[in-house]
Amino acid sequence: MLNIIDRGRNILQQTLAPDEKIFFIGFNKCGTTSLHHLMTQHAIRSTHWNNGQLADDIEKLLSDKNNLKKYLSRATAYSDIIYSTHREQIEGNKHFRLFHELFPRAYFILNDRNLEAWVKSRSNHHNGSHLERCMAAWKTDERGVKTIWRQTYEAHTNDVLDYFNGHARFLHFRIDRDSINMLIDFLSPSFTLRARGWKITNATKQG
């Protein structure tokens, strides 16, 4: 765990530079829980999923940028921006352009992994209940859901990489092969993190 001096630095940084947010704009099942825990262990205020309320709240505030900025000012890091019911599916990470407009000094991280491994993990997530909700919401079968997931994943990845091409505060971080030190170095101009605070949690069984 980070020592008290370094934790204090992160707390002070968030007070002095409240617009330096950290947006993890990959999908759920791409290390979001682990990244959330890494943030909280280092005294970085982090909001993760919140039973889908995070994505739902953002969606409701899209037409009111001032109130959306106020809403997103409550924390520093955001991850797992998804809302999933039998009637509606929201992938809130698609609003990365708006997040960047509201917080131009923010750090953006595309947390990523092998596509087929991600599809398999999502299929098994919560004993398959997420897959079932998607089937109901989109009125299709398992094969149809997986096709939509792949298309959405590939389109989002291409959009993000095109938009942030050459941007100094963007990192494409592959959780299944990149060292956590890459992420630590990326955030080091503003935040102090230690590799010993990193571990993969909430991994879905792939069986």
Give mean pLDDT in consecutive 10-residue pieces for the chain, a chain of 207 residues. Answer: 83 98 98 96 96 97 98 98 97 98 98 98 94 98 98 98 98 97 98 87 54
Q: What is this structure's pTM?
A: 0.95
CATH number at residue 193: 3.40.50.300
In a domain? residue 205? no
In total, how many domains does the chain have? 1
Side-chain-side CA neighbours of 12 within 13 Å: the count stands at 7
- Does 202 fall in a domain? no
87 is a domain residue: yes
Residue 206 in domain:
no
Which pLDDT does position 107 carry in this prediction? 98
- Residue 146 is assigned to a structural domain of this protein: yes
pLDDT at 204: 57
Q: How many residues does the chain have?
A: 207
81 with 21: CB under 8 angstroms? no
- Asked if residue 204 belongs to a domain, the reply is no
Query: What pLDDT shows up at residue 126?
Result: 87
Query: What are φ and ψ of residue 192, in 5° steps?
Result: -110, 115
Q: How far is Cα of residue 12 from the mean position of the Cα atoms in its chain?
A: 23
CA 181 vs CA 192, 194, 195: distances in Å? 11, 8, 7
SS3 content of the chain, % helix, strand, coil (to 5): 55, 15, 35
Q: In whole angstroms, what is the distance from residue 100 CA to residue 186 CA?
A: 17
Measure the CA–CA gap between 164 and 199, rounded to whole angstroms: 27
Instruction: Supply the pLDDT for residue 202.
Output: 60
Give domain status of residue 35, yes or no: yes
Query: Looking at the domain assignment, is residue 8 inside a domain?
Result: yes
pLDDT of residue 198: 86
Domain that holds residue 88: 4-197
Q: What sign for the dihedral angle of Cα 174, 175, 179, 183?
A: positive
pLDDT of residue 3: 79
